[in-house]
Amino acid sequence: MRALIQRVTEASVEVEGRVVGSTGPGLLVLVCAMRSDDEATADRLAARIARLRIFQDEAGKMNRSVLDIAGGALVVSQFTLAADTRSGNRPGFSAAADPQQGQHLYRHFASSLASHGVPVETGIFGADMKVRLLNDGPVTIWLDTAATPAR
């Protein structure tokens, strides 16, 4: 799975003019399931994000996790993170999971993140979404489970 994590002061997602998910201080997690992913992959990514120390401590160092700050997460599906831009001008998305698998893993990931104690809200899989955020820092982190060894 691939995830683009942004530390936010606030974030929300709208579908057809209606806010369907939001968070205050915490994380905006844009997530994409790849063809080779499974539930164990989603669980590893969720655990990693719950423990990722990207929030400042009293000394101003990034040493606290979303759990440590009692923050929340807005999880939004984004298959375009699978973009292959190695040739031509039009990205290819063949490495992304098919929609049924992608939706299952997206939901599983959000549930797994919540099981670690992070309050989670989500967008709507496959919908045309408008995402608003106030990036804090800015801090933006890229995670790819294909590049992260299993523990």
Tokens of 125: 């899989």
Catalytic residues: 78-80
Q: In a 10 Å sphere around its CB, with 0-12 CB exposed, 13-18 middle and 19+ buried, how is residue 62 labelled?
A: middle
The dihedral region occupied by 70, where left means phi > 0, alpha psi between -120 and 50, and beta the remainder, is left
Measure the CA–CA gap between 30 and 6, rounded to whole angstroms. 8
Looking at the DSSP assignment, which residues form a beta bridge with residue 6?
28, 140
